[in-house]
Amino acid sequence: MNGDTPRTELTTKTAKGSRTRSRILEAALTLFFERGFEATTMRAVADAADVSLGNAYYYFESKEQLVQAFYERSHREHVESCEPLLAHERDFRRRLHATLTAKIDTSEPYHRFSGVLFRSAADPLSPLNPFSGASTPVRDEAITLMAEVVDGSNLSPPPDLRAELPYLLWLYEMGIILFWIFDTSHDRRRTRTMVDRTVPIVTRLIALGGNPLLKPLRRSVLALLRELRDEPAAARRPTARHAAADAPPGD
């Protein structure tokens, strides 16, 4: 970067780049919704965003990266929505309930799109699924948010349970999101009922996990969780079919 470049010019370029990036992402989300992920090409995204194909690839290396950018934006909106309550509330049950409710609220504008995207993201070998290597950054940030829910609360679980709790709560959230995708009730009433009814149960189960009499059972469950999660890296590698999907199309 040229040190002689005026700060105002740098700021203008940065703002313009941010607007271009957002325009490309919005165009992609619209096309994914209208045509589906597989039928959408990067050229179509570039045309819809009124940028060159090279410019589209400058900001996003692939369609998969566009989806990951959507995941990142959705997560950021979720975090911002949670911040006011998490800054003041100490009760774990209320913190968890508010966090899950905020996830439903901030995701609602993308409900139909999420259903369309699910067709591709549900493939275990797809880089779009929430357990994929490509999803690691956003997944880790979501787990970190659950760690904040726990750490800022009045909850006092045993150390071994506390270490695994953010990941377990993230899995719980993923289950709710899956239910939400298929929920056609008004204002996702059934999903909200699910959150209302299950948060007290989950809170109670966590409290029971600290019972000394249940220590052997707790250790067995946590050991199983670690074994299932720590899958060998070779088993997580994408197939040639999905690796090829990251390559620029010949259009």
Chain region(s) in the chain for CATH 1.10.357.10: 67-244
User: Maximum distance among all alpha carbons in the chain?
Assistant: 69
| In contact, 37 and 119? CB cutoff 8 Å | yes
Q: What sign has the CA pseudo-torsion 148, 151, 153, 155?
A: positive
Q: Which pLDDT score, from 0 to 100, does residue 231 have?
A: 57
For 190-212, letters b (16+ CB in 10 Å) and e give: ebbebbeebbeebbeebeebeee
- CA nearest 179: which of 94, 130, 106, 118? 118
Could you say which DSSP state residue 110 is in?
G
Contacts 24+ apart (CB under 8 A), 211-218: 215/158, 218/158, 218/160, 218/161
Q: Which pLDDT score, from 0 to 100, does residue 240 have?
A: 39
Chain region(s) in the chain for CATH 1.10.10.60: 8-61
Q: Which pLDDT score, from 0 to 100, does residue 188 have?
A: 96
Mean pLDDT of the 53-68 span:
94
* Residue 242: pLDDT band with limits 50, 70, 90: very low
Mean pLDDT of the 65-87 span:
95
- Which fold would CATH assign to domain 8-61? Arc Repressor Mutant, subunit A (1.10.10)
Residue scoring higher pLDDT (152 or 240): 152
For 20-50, letters b (16+ CB in 10 Å) and e give: bbeebbebbbebbbeeebeebbbebbbebbe
Instruction: Write down the pTM of the prediction.
Output: 0.82
Mean pLDDT of the 29-47 span:
92
Mean pLDDT of the 74-87 span:
96
State in words which class domain 67-244 has. mainly alpha
- Write the pLDDT tens digit of every residue in 186-223: 999 999 999 999 999 999 999 999 999 999 999 999 99
Mean pLDDT of the 129-135 span:
92
| Burial class of residue 113, CB neighbours in 10 A (0-12, 13-18, 19+) | middle
